Structure 1
Amino acid sequence: MSGDARFTEELEEARRNRQIGAISEIVTDPVSDWATDFSHVDPGWAADPYPIQDELRQRCPIAHTERFGGVWLPTRYEDVASIAYDTDRFSSRAIIVSNVRPPLELAPRGGVPPISSDPPFHHDARKLLLPAFTKSAVAKREEATRAFCHALIDAMEGREVVDAAREYAQHIPMRVIADMLGFPQEDGPRFGEFVESALESVNRPPEERLARFTRLSEYLVAQIHDHVEHPRDDLTSFLLDAEMDGEKLDPMHVVGTMTLLLIAGIDTTWSAIGASLWHLARTPEDRRRLVAEPGLLPTAMEEFLRAFAPVTMARLVKEDMRWNGVDMKADDWILLSFPAANRDPAQFERADEVVIDREVNRHAAFGLGIHRCVGSHLARMELRVALEVWLERIPEFGLADASAVTWAASQVRGPRTLPLRIG
């Protein structure tokens, strides 16, 4: 049997034998008390989590809920950072809070390496990806990204109102990631479905989530088969050829990393672009200043990342312990809210304001510790180019209907609908 055939056979066997893990009760009731019964998928949290975070930071800096089988939510920067750096007591084997806890056997690789990997496995799994995400590698993608942004805006010509989330922000990272992985560009709409299924269905029945992930894995397996038959110069072929410790990557390692790049690589940047445009649409003084001073955009962009950080990661407690005054149990979830950390007044002056010329800005939008986002250079390039092109082409715009703006109810928060008046 050839190596390629053996790989695909092992992949199919691994998928058939996939373990589900412990399942907790689904709770969909409205939140009764954010300190003791919070839910990060509650509509109120999705619409505007910042006042809730501010209240918790003062009242109960480490909130708790029995939903999802037990979750802790630290809201102070120092607590979020402490957990993010502590790989001895907190595991990354599952990064999305849901009603299913993946089995211990998944560690140290986790389901979507390297972000789900624990040391020492994590180091080598992350190192594999670094060359594809250096500043120089990312710079080679800027020209095509800029041209694509212009094409998206060309398609809006003659219209007065557009959905900047669905018609602009989401398509930019979809195109970039498709090119990097060597996937058909026309599959973009399917990527959006995969993103929303993975991140916004966490409180649905486990069998439904499994069916959604099965559709995603079947798509990725089809892409792998195509790359096995027709190798080319892209990240998918690279992963199929890559080795760790002198051996080819386990098939589920390959699929997991492809899942990570597809889901996280799209939704995080989609959300950051959308949130930035939302702020500029409702804050005309900032919009006018950036149009007049385009050189300020890189600084403003970092402030948008701080103020509207899209990503909250999860950890699992490794064993029973008392931590910073609370009694954590083994396999309790921890929600690492980088958005809450970024608005902690103990860490940032005027933390609740968007200051587009903020000079000192050591924000945590890309995470902290060993799992800091490997794709941060790529995300910054996409965000910068998307805003540069939009402000160049559409310097005058505003919210068409503020009440029609909707936000993702998940661990990656950004506008899902963003009607802007551009005419």
Structure 2
Amino acid sequence: MAINQVPDHVPPEMVGDFSLFTSPGMSPTPNGDPHAAVACVHAGAPIFYSPCNTRPGRGTWVITRAADQRRVLQDTETFSSHRSTFASALGENWPMIPLELDPPAHRVFRSLLNPLLSPKRVTELEPTIRERAITLIEGIAASGTSCDVMKDFAFPFAVNIFLRFLGLPEHRLHTFVGWARDLLHGDDVRRPAAARTIVAFIDELAAMRRNRPVDDFMSFIVQAQVEGRRLTDEEVRGMGVLLFVAGLDTVATAIGFDLAYLARNIKDQDLLRSEPDRIVLAAEELLRAYPSVQMVRVAIKDIDFEGAPIRKGDYVSCAAMIANRDPAEFESPNTVDLSREANRHASFGYGPHRCLGSHLARREIVIGLEEWLARIPAFRIKEGTAPVAYGGHVFGIENLILDWS
């Protein structure tokens, strides 16, 4: 099917003029708010077909209701996760593991990785996480009264923790972040180039750890066994690429959106600073309001879903940023309420593929906010600057200059 072509089985009245990539509010814009722009879809049909809602410009069915998204994400017999999202940039077809595997294979690899990112393991990492946050923030506070918070704090904090977890060299942090940015947000030239670079790096690292294992993630993977056998080279690559890419953007982005909100809402900032016990609950609400990931599934058989004739091979979008603004799920969904309880947001996905790193991500976000608010006085977006937020497969924010002079 040609890009942007609507399949014959899609009724014309079910085609919607919306895309997480190209709709108004999604392109990088000073002071833009792609999350607010997304909320407009709830004024229309609960499911529609967008002719251009993936990075290559391929169409997807867009599921707008949170309850319907949960049905899709739970139904692995109808909707597959195997899209080879990363490998397709190389013209190849292998899955990131376990993200792009379906049951029963998914369960095997998920069980292998679960202990590495369990709540117990995250608790053990907490002193290291907090120490890193304090060191960075105290350095920022000592050097002046403003900073580019993504470059100076969010990325060095979140990515450093993940690099330690993976056993990767910290001095290459900025190089790794650059690869991730090109992969997730780059054009048709930078994206495949970044993908090739990352694959070469992961393959080289795996070969090194086979010859000389140490106490790190890659050594664990190359020595691990599933169903009585060692992992294949492709399985090691698929697992290594997923963990590498997953740790280089999403948590830092979440912290950026959180600090941007607090910079614009001084009363909430003051509240959390004076009552830090509220930060855990507030972090969940900020995750709801500013998620970053669109989950896409592939129909593996024909199904009529809520009146939509979804056919085998169709892409189905379950965007967390849409589910989290569902008025049937959340009272006043476009209002950030830091005291919101029973917050059933979709920011970490749902079903068997719920984010493996959610426990670590939550602790990093909470600790980052706790230590920032404890050490930086009332801050605003620096006059004469404007943060740039953008949509896409992974939402992002940059040029976030905070000032507390």
Which among 108, 119, 131 is matched to residue 135 of structure 1?
119
Task: Point out where structure 2 has 5 or more consecutive residues left out of the alignment.
Answer: 6-12
In structure 1, C-alpha distance between the alignment counterparts of 2:211 and 2:37, rounded to whole Å: 52
Alignment of 1:301-312 (within 5 A): 301-312=283-294
Alignment of 1:158-177 (within 5 A): 158-177=143-162
Task: Pick one of 119, 130, 142 that aligns with 1:146.
Answer: 130
Q: 1:94 aligns with which of 83, 92, 104?
A: 83
Counterpart Cα distance in 2 of 1:292 and 1:211: 47
Aligned to 1:362: 344
From the superposition, tell whether residues 331 and 402 of structure 1 become closer, same or farther in structure 2 (CA, over 3 Å): farther
Change (3 A) 1:307 1:34: farther
Instruction: Decide which moves more: 192-201 or 207-216.
Output: 207-216
Inter-CA distance 200–148: structure 2 relative to 1 (3 Å threshold)? same
How far, CA to CA, are the matches of 2:319 and 2:78 in structure 1? 18
Q: Counterpart of 1:173 in 2: which secondary structure? A: helix
Residue correspondence of structure 1 range 364-379 to structure 2 within 5 A: 364-379=346-361
Residue type at the aligned position of 1:182: G
How is 1:309-388 mapped onto 2 (pairs within 5 angstroms)?
A: 309-388=291-370
Deviates more, 1:184-193 or 1:225-234: 225-234
CA distance in 2, matches of 1:163, 1:371: 34
Q: CA deviation at 1:294?
A: 0.6
Q: Which moved more, 1:227-236 or 1:92-101?
A: 92-101
**Residue pairs, 1:21-60, within 5 angstroms:** 25=3, 36-42=16-22, 44-46=25-27, 47-60=32-45
CA distance in 1, matches of 2:172, 2:145: 28
- Superposed displacement of residue 373, structure 1: 0.8
CA 1:376–1:166: 2 relative to 1, 3 Å: same
8 Å contact kept, 1:41–1:409: yes
Structure 2 vs 1, CA of residues 169 and 208 (structure 1 numbering), >3 Å: closer, same or farther?
closer
Q: Distance in 1 between matches of 2:87 and 2:131?
A: 39
Q: Could you tell me how far apart the structure 1 residues matched to 2:60 and 2:376 are?
A: 43
Unaligned runs of 5+ in 1: 1-22, 28-32
Q: Would the aligned equivalents of 2:263 and 2:269 in 1 still touch at CA under 8 Å?
A: yes
Of 232-241 and 306-315, the range deviating more from structure 2: 306-315
Confirm or deny that 1:199 pairs with 2:180: no
Residue 352 to residue 122, structure 1, CA distance change in 2 (3 Å): same
| Aligned equivalent of 2:174 | 189
In the TM superposition, residue 265 of structure 1 has moved relative to its aligned partner by 2.1
Matched letter for residue 162 of structure 2: I
C-alpha distance 26-322 of structure 1, shift in aligned 2 (>3 A): closer
User: Aligned partners of 2:339 and 2:310: how far apart in 1?
Assistant: 40
Q: Which amino acid aligns with 2:75?
A: D
TM-score, with structure 1 as normaliser: 0.85
Match of 1:419 in 2: 401
**Residue 77 of structure 1: aligned partner:** 66
Tell me how large the CA RMSD over aligned residues is. Answer: 2.5
1:116 and 2:100 are equivalent in the alignment = yes
**Same amino acid, percent of matched pairs:** 31
Q: TM-score normalized by structure 2?
A: 0.89
Corresponding residue number in structure 2 for 1:61:
46
| Separation of aligned partners in 1, 2:130 and 2:14 | 42
- For residue 281 of structure 1, what is the aligned residue in structure 2? 263
Give the alignment of 1:184-263 within 5 angstroms.
184-201=169-186, 204-205=187-188, 209-263=191-245
